[in-house]
Structure 1
Amino acid sequence: MTKNVFILLLIGIFSVSFACRNNNAKSLKTIKSKPVYSYEEKLKREITEIRRFFGESSKYNSDVAFFLDMKIESGKNRFFIYDLKSNRITGKGLVAHGSGSETGIPGKLAFSNVKNSNSSSLGKYAIGGSYSGRFGKAYKLYGLDVTNSNAFDRNIVLHQYVAVPFEEQPYPICNSLGCPMVNEKFFGVIEKLIDNSKKKIILVIYY
């Protein structure tokens, strides 16, 4: 009788142990199957949209465009220079977003087209002429969508800033007052493209 009880206890312990391992395996499987954000797929969709936009207007440079993916954390490269002729990324860099876009939730940003909000605004921008301002050379930006129509009046410009690092970081970089703000060395790269372009280059901020 005692022997039978002992055998039953062993079977019960083995069953519980197996069930725990099985549940843990299911949990790990669930974690691993969580979808990972693909900036490549999002970029493809934005490129398709901008090609459609160029088909409606010939006043902009249709050979190159700048794409800023605000879904990517600020310490990682999220400013993409895209050659639309060869269909490839030719440059990447860090870019700051507006302090007003911070929500306090990691990976979650908010956007605004309101003056003095210090927020980034989503949408297409035409890069205008340059001027010398507080941060040196900068380019005026003209919002082309309802989501960024106040960009010029808000003094939202593309400019450089010494505190923006050149290399990727494991932590967030500094914020701007709503402007797309880049490293000085990376600014030199996009500066050449902008200044040598006969037509206005389009910059797209998306999330």
Structure 2
Amino acid sequence: MKHVVLLLFLLVICCNNSNKVNKDYADYHSAALKYCKDKGFNDRYYFLLDFSIHSGKNRFFVYDFKKGGITDQNLVTHGSCDVFESNLTKYNTAKFDVKTDSHCSMKGKYKIGRRDSSSWGIKIKYWLEGLEASNKSAVERVVVLHSWEAVANNEIFPDYSPLSWGCPAVSDDFMKKLDGKLKASDKPVLLWIIE
């Protein structure tokens, strides 16, 4: 009996540790700050989305350059990509493809563009302009930052966030925070999707 209890304890520890976010994003933060300064973007903060993290865990990070730390974080969806296949791993982490109608996410740096009305969530979206070959079709694909009622406002791991058609969708409450920040910015804001 002791062996069974010990084995179960070790399994729980291993499983929990494998899903902890223990990443050092220092290189991304440095590169983002340099990019923002060089390109005339907002150099107070940027958004980093790490799609290698399980979709039921926080993986949308607001990084403040002045404070030198993450000031807010929340859940975010990724693209369904193989939505019609019975592949359960598609809910966990993202696949990437730049092709139109792929419904996949796209890696890379984006300029958060024009604020517009949306049929989702709090009815606001921001156009994302892809800045790299890996996301150049963002405007054509209408990959936008928006909220969605189906996205939870707190971590739900081991459950998954719903799948999008490539948009990084967040909870309504989190979108209200982002919208406030974005409306107050006099310069474009950088959003960077990594894996």
CA distance in 1, matches of 2:107, 2:101: 16
CA distance in 1, matches of 2:194, 2:109: 9
Q: Is the 8 A contact 2:54 2:93 kept in 1?
A: no
CA distance in 1, matches of 2:69, 2:55: 22
Q: Which residue of 1 aligns with 2:60?
A: 79
CA distance in 1, matches of 2:170, 2:93: 21
Q: Is the 8 A contact 2:60 2:76 kept in 1?
A: yes
Asked which structure has the greater CA Rg, the reply is 1
Residues 22-75 of structure 1 deviation map (CA, whole Å, 9 limit, x = unaligned)? xxxxxx9xx97xx95774534222112212323422x21011100101011111
The amino acid that maps onto 2:148 is Y
User: 2:129 is paired with a residue of what secondary structure?
Assistant: strand
Q: Which residue of 2 aligns with 1:193?
A: 181
Q: Is the 8 A contact 1:128 1:200 kept in 2?
A: yes
Q: Which residue of 2 aligns with 1:90?
A: 71
The amino acid that maps onto 2:185 is S
The number of aligned residues is: 177
Report the alpha carbon displacement of residue 203 of structure 1 after superposing the two structures with TM: 0.5
Length-normalised TM-score, structure 2:
0.82
User: 2:34 is paired with a residue of what secondary structure?
Assistant: helix
Q: Which residue of 1 aligns with 2:169?
A: 181
- List aligned pairs for 1:148-159, cutoff 5 A: 148-159=135-146
Report the alpha carbon displacement of residue 118 of structure 1 after superposing the two structures with TM: 0.5
Q: Is the 8 A contact 2:36 2:190 kept in 1?
A: no
**Which structure 2 segments of 5+ residues have no match?**
1-9
Q: Which residue of 2 aligns with 1:114?
A: 99
* Match among 31, 37, 45 for residue 49 of structure 1: 31
Report the alpha carbon displacement of residue 108 of structure 1 after superposing the two structures with TM: 5.1
CA distance in 2, matches of 1:168, 1:91: 13
Q: Which residue of 2 aligns with 1:126?
A: 111
User: 1:198 is paired with a residue of what secondary structure?
Assistant: coil
Length-normalised TM-score, structure 1:
0.78
Q: Is the 8 A contact 1:101 1:111 kept in 2?
A: no
Q: 1:42 to 1:154 in 2, by over 3 A?
A: farther
Report the alpha carbon displacement of residue 105 of structure 1 after superposing the two structures with TM: 6.3
**Which structure 1 segments of 5+ residues have no match?**
1-27
RMSD between superposed Cα atoms in Å: 2.4
Q: Which has the higher contact order (CA 8 A, sep 6+)?
A: 2
The amino acid that maps onto 2:149 is V
CA distance in 2, matches of 1:37, 1:48: 25
Q: Which residue of 2 aligns with 1:64?
A: 45
